[in-house]
Structure 1
């Protein structure tokens, strides 16, 4: 499966910048849907209510997904790769 990688930077409630990637099927081209996935993730890490729009989240590239990511996307519609300040 090929996936679209959306590079995302969100200001946390404590002011630090979170950096994470939202991964979706390459055919998902509705940015609002990607932002919804990002907001689901933010809620799961107690950062709900933080701004997530085209300013914070942009399409980056298409890549080949490992099987674990493929399974998460099939099950949830998206997967997250935590990069910086996500915990």
Structure 2
């Protein structure tokens, strides 16, 4: 499966900059839906209410993913790759 990788930087409630990628099917073009996936992730790590717009989240590239990530996308519509300061 090829996915679109959305590079995301959000300021956490404690002021640290968090970096994560939102991975979605390459055919998903609805930015608002992608932002909603990011907000759902933020809520799951107790960072709800933080800004998540085109300023914080931008399309980066198309990539191929391992089967375990593909299954997350098939089941949930998206997957998150945590990069920096997510906890």
Q: TM-score, normalised by structure 1?
A: 0.99
Superposition RMSD in Å: 0.3
Equivalenced residue count is 87
Distance 1:28 1:18 in 2: 24
Unaligned 5+ residue runs, structure 2? none
Deviations 1:45-73 (A, max 9, x none): 00000000000000000000110110000
Do structure 1's residue 6 and structure 2's residue 10 form an aligned pair? no
Which residue does the alignment assign to 1:67?
67
Q: TM-score, normalised by structure 2?
A: 0.99
Deviations 1:23-80 (A, max 9, x none): 0000001110000000000000000000000000000000001101100000000000
